[in-house]
């Protein structure tokens, strides 16, 4: 139990409490809804519940953090056609059938499209 006392200051932070509440609502809503819809439902519901009962600054900080993470993912994807999640998994996307294949693959195992060269990790062409 002494080890858990290290986490006590973390649980007292309003931003952390906001994200824990959002995660709990997300888990409950994923039982009945699609994952993306559950995310937006939990985000909006948590924001409304928090604004009704607590301070308005914490949801602003949380949404800023969510948008920052989203922009870190979208910026390279839009401007450089580089998918960060494919890169982290060591995959690339086939330009014909859009299936994920290993980044060293010379041909797609599904549609048999031959790649011109071994493209960099995560590149979408």
Cα–Cα distance for residue pair 93/102, rounded to 1 Å: 9
| H/E run at residue 100 | strand 100-102
Mean pLDDT of 86-106: 90
Tell me what the mean pLDDT of segment 63-90 comes to: 89
CA 65 to chain centre: 12
Q: Where are the domains of the chain?
A: 3-78, 81-125
Tokens at 43, concatenated? 């985000």
pTM beyond cutoff 0.85 = no
Average pLDDT, the chain: 89
H or E stretch including 89? helix 84-89
Q: Which of 1-5, 60-64, 65-69, 100-104 has the lowest mean pLDDT?
A: 1-5
2 pLDDT tier (thresholds 50, 70, 90): confident
């Amino acid at each position: 139990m002494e080890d858990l006392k290290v986490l006590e200051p973390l649980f007292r932070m309003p931003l952390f409490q906001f994200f824990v509440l959002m995660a709990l609502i997300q888990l409950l809503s994923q039982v009945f809804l699609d994952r993306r819809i559950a995310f937006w439902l939990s985000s909006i519901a948590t924001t409304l519940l928090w604004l009704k009962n607590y301070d308005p600054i914490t949801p602003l900080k949380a949404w800023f953090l969510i948008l920052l993470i989203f922009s870190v993912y979208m910026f390279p994807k839009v401007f450089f056609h580089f998918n960060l999640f494919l890169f982290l998994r060591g995959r690339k996307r086939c330009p014909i059938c859009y299936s994920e294949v290993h980044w060293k693959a010379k041909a797609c195992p599904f549609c048999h499209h031959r790649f011109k060269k071994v493209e960099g990790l995560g590149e979408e062409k």
